[in-house]
Amino acid sequence: MYQKPTVTPVLVYEQILQSDHSRYIISFPGKGSLHQVSFHLLVETASPYRETSEEALSCFQFSITNQENSSLTTALQVAFQACHETLRQKNDRLPLVRRVGVGLICIAVRGEQLYIAQAGPGVIYCRDGQGTRKLRLVPVSTPLEESSDNEIQMIGIGEGKIQVALDRQLIQDGQKFIAANSALANATSYDGLDEILKSPVDEATRKLQVTMGEDPYFAALIVTSLLTEKT
């Protein structure tokens, strides 16, 4: 028996839960050496233009699925850099007022393991027997451009490489993870988020709808564990 991670997408758009998440969230299987990995990708953007988020998601997926012989951590880093370069080139052709960066969080599931990777804005929390805490991912690449301590580098903005951060978690019985837009950090307290995450997924989704309903949109991935037999 082992803990099989289950990933549930959540999208609240104009206060309504959406069944179609594809504008801000996608899931897809890996190929080649990554065929046992499922990828779940979340984008955060302030752009009102639908193509910005969709292009970020599709570029990341294209990069992952065309690295059939790469290790998982290498594939993730390459995909973030490819997405950054694609959006940066597009921004260079636009007026300054139209240039928009994004944040991406990818949760890659392989067996009982979660590989969590992030560049740009976004938040990740874990709930276990000790309560709810914010995960601090470890940077695995350093951007060529220095930024201030309070500035979050955006994918698609600035020259050089984007900073990518990674973490690996072995999911335990009763644990829950949530990756979400950065607005979640200001919308509720740790106690409030703990109340949300201790609920069953369907109820947690409805609570997030209420909590984040004032935002133009809110996207999240909730990861839970399901005890199952090994095959």
Distance CA 166, CA 173 (A): 22
How many structural domains compose the chain?
1
Tokens 């199952």 locate to 228
Torsion angles phi and psi, residue 109, rounded to 5: -110, 125
Quick one: pLDDT at residue 225?
A: 83
Nearest to 137 by CA among 154, 150, 120: 120
Residue 44 identity: E
Residue 8 token pair: 């549930």
Stated pTM of the model: 0.92
> Is residue 152 within 8 Å of residue 105, measured between CB atoms?
no
Residue 170 token pair: 């072995």
Residue 81 identity: Q
Distance CA 40, CA 153 (A): 22
Nearest to 5 by CA among 103, 121, 116: 116
Residues of the domain holding 193:
2-228
- What is the distance between the terminal CA atoms of the chain, rounded to a whole angstrom? 9
Quick one: pLDDT at residue 159?
A: 82
Write out the chain's pLDDT in tens, 231 residues.
556 789 999 999 888 999 999 999 999 999 999 999 999 999 999 776 678 899 999 999 999 999 878 899 999 999 999 999 999 999 898 888 788 899 999 999 999 899 999 999 999 999 998 899 999 998 886 554 444 444 568 999 988 889 999 999 988 888 899 999 999 999 999 999 999 999 999 999 999 999 998 888 999 999 998 654 454
> Is residue 108 within 8 Å of residue 37, measured between CB atoms?
yes
Quick one: pLDDT at residue 147?
A: 47
Quick one: pLDDT at residue 52?
A: 85
Beta strands in the chain (DSSP E): 2-13, 16-17, 25-29, 38-45, 102-110, 113-119, 123-128, 131-134, 138-139, 165-170, 176-180, 217-228
Round the CA-based radius of gyration of the chain to a whole number and report it.
17
Q: Tell me, what CATH number does 101's domain have?
A: 3.60.40.10
